[in-house]
Structure 1
Amino acid sequence: MYRPISDFGKHLINIQQLSDRTSTHLYQICLLATDMDGTLTKYGKFTSKLLDTLENLAAVKVPVLIVTGRSAGWVSAISSLMPIVGAIAENGGLFYPSSNSEPVTLTPIADLTSHREHLARTFANLQTYFPQIQESADNRFRVTDWTFDLTSLTTDELKNIGNLCEQMGWGFTYSNVQCHIKPQGQDKAIGLLKVLRQYFPTYFPEQVITVGDSPNDESLFNQRYFPISVGVANIREYATQLQHQPTYITTAAEGDGFCELCSYILQSCQH
């Protein structure tokens, strides 16, 4: 499923492999901010191993915050059902604290109806250039962004779509699941920083570890904001496309890689 490490070696030269030695540097971690699809999931699903890991982190009082591109509708449920402190939806658009069903808007939108109509027109314009793109099934549950399926788009086509979105006044990103037309300046790092300032004001950036697996997680790898970041092994698929790369990389991919990281964090809590 994944290309050999040697294919990407020259692009990952500065990334350190997680190891037993790493755990001694994780004792100061106060919060884990993680992507969901391809990072917490395995073959698109949550596993019992993941849920056990989240419960173990909660038991030692290491809070987990999900930072995902998934829709407001999805994240509203996830934030209340999982053993986490909350979840950020739509790549930094909204925050759902686990203790409150009401979302916190991170990207102000003056007129929601007008905003959605503008997004729809932008998508229709993109379809004139790329007639194969189709609106994502969960798009109806979104507030701040507009999504379409990633299927059959090449790297060059994704780059061209990004350029077109910029010309029309929008931002663009994509994950291993979907493509996102979004307000310019809306990304995971900016949304996470807003949440940290409001809800976790005593935490320093070096006490937060960020985790991801694809291009829409790139802002979480920016060491200007977050000095300690981890890519699960499947991040190697996008190595040539990332300007900002994670500090560490796991041996295992997807949810197993996240659990690998957490095993080191839990180990550090015993010291």
Structure 2
Amino acid sequence: MISLTIMPLIPPTALRPLAESDQALSQIQLIATDMDGTLTIDEKFTPQLFQALQKLQQAQIAVIVITGRSAGWVNAVNHYFPVAGAICENGGLFYQGDTTEFLVDIPDITQHRQNLAAMFQQLQQRFPQIQEASDNRFRLTDWTFDVAGLSQADLAVMDQQCAAAGWGFTYSTVQCHIKPHEQSKANGLQYVLQQHFSAISLAQVMTIGDSPNDVSLFNPVIFPNSTGVQNVSRYTDQLAHLPRFITPSPEGKGFCELVDRLICSK
């Protein structure tokens, strides 16, 4: 008997080469981009990245960083980067200038953190090897632990266990996140766009990412223009939505390719 491997079908409107994006890019007024694996190269920021961000600023194209990283880390990104704002903890909080805005309803932060810790302890009973992430102490809305060493089956079980307890769960190339069920990059970004960038339509927004916690940014019903940097291709069989376009190169190099093409399209 011959065993056939059935690969998931890729919609014809997804993962198009960046060379086919010029018409879409010509109308973009705001970029909402993931950070780790999308802006970084080998986990570092590069001079080329800052040059790309400066090009966008000079072209009056707003940039919002939207990442799973902690409130403590992202406050610095908002302050030091040439960006219009930053969303942290996968849609938990928004930083703009000197203001901070919660994007999820958490009446009691102390109790919320205790509830997150209890959920993490439940996961540890089944997966005793997992350890709290080093940046977890700087978080407000979610709880994180390192994704390294966990299989796809492990992650699926964790997702199911969190859902059964009323929590959301997601992961990136770096970390796993226990979070409020309604908390997502898409929900947080939509609120920020409505409240702070109401003159910009969703058709004028380009969302960019590289991993499973970016999947809501790839939903074409909400965001018709999305791009994955090349390294997103390793997750295509795990994503409910695929980006419309994909860059030739991975990580920050791919982001810079997108910026150069965007600037040329104007």
Q: Same fold (TM over 0.5)?
A: yes
1:83-102 equivalence runs, <5 A: 83-97=82-96, 99-100=97-98, 102=99
1:111-122 equivalence runs, <5 A: 111-122=108-119
Percent of aligned positions that are identical = 50
Root-mean-square deviation (CA, aligned residues, Å) is 1.4
Residue in 1 that maps onto 2:265:
268
> What runs of 5+ residues in structure 1 fail to find an aligned partner?
1-7
Residue in 2 that maps onto 1:39:
38
The one of 130, 150, 153 aligned to 2:150: 153
| Mapped contact 1:11–1:240 kept (Cα < 8 A) | no
1:58-207 equivalence runs, <5 A: 58-97=57-96, 99-100=97-98, 102-207=99-204
Q: 1:10 deviation in Å?
A: 4.9
1:16 matched to 2:16? The reply is yes
| Mapped contact 2:8–2:237 kept (Cα < 8 A) | no
Note closer, same or farther for the CA distance 1:120–1:61 as it changes in structure 2 (3 Å cut).
same
Residue in 2 that maps onto 1:4:
none
In 2, the alpha carbon distance for the partners of 1:212 and 1:32 equals 11
> What amino acid does structure 1 have at the position aligned with 2:79?
S
What SS class does the counterpart of residue 218 from structure 1 fall into? Answer: helix
In 2, the alpha carbon distance for the partners of 1:9 and 1:223 equals 18
In 2, the alpha carbon distance for the partners of 1:187 and 1:25 equals 25
| Mapped contact 1:12–1:239 kept (Cα < 8 A) | no
Range moving further from structure 2, 8-17 or 206-215: 8-17
> What amino acid does structure 1 have at the position aligned with 2:24?
H
After superposition, give the CA deviation of every residue in 1:51-96 in whole Å (9 maximum; x if it has no partner).
0000011001011100000000001111010000010000000000
| Mapped contact 1:135–1:148 kept (Cα < 8 A) | yes
TM-score (ref. length: structure 2): 0.95
After superposition, give the CA deviation of every residue in 1:1-35 in whole Å (9 maximum; x if it has no partner).
xxxxxxx895475321111x422331110100000
TM-score (ref. length: structure 1): 0.93
After superposition, give the CA deviation of every residue in 1:200-245 in whole Å (9 maximum; x if it has no partner).
0111111000000000000000011100000000001111000110
In 2, the alpha carbon distance for the partners of 1:89 and 1:146 equals 13
Q: 1:103 deviation in Å?
A: 1.0
In 2, the alpha carbon distance for the partners of 1:36 and 1:25 equals 22
Moved over 4 A (4+): 8-13
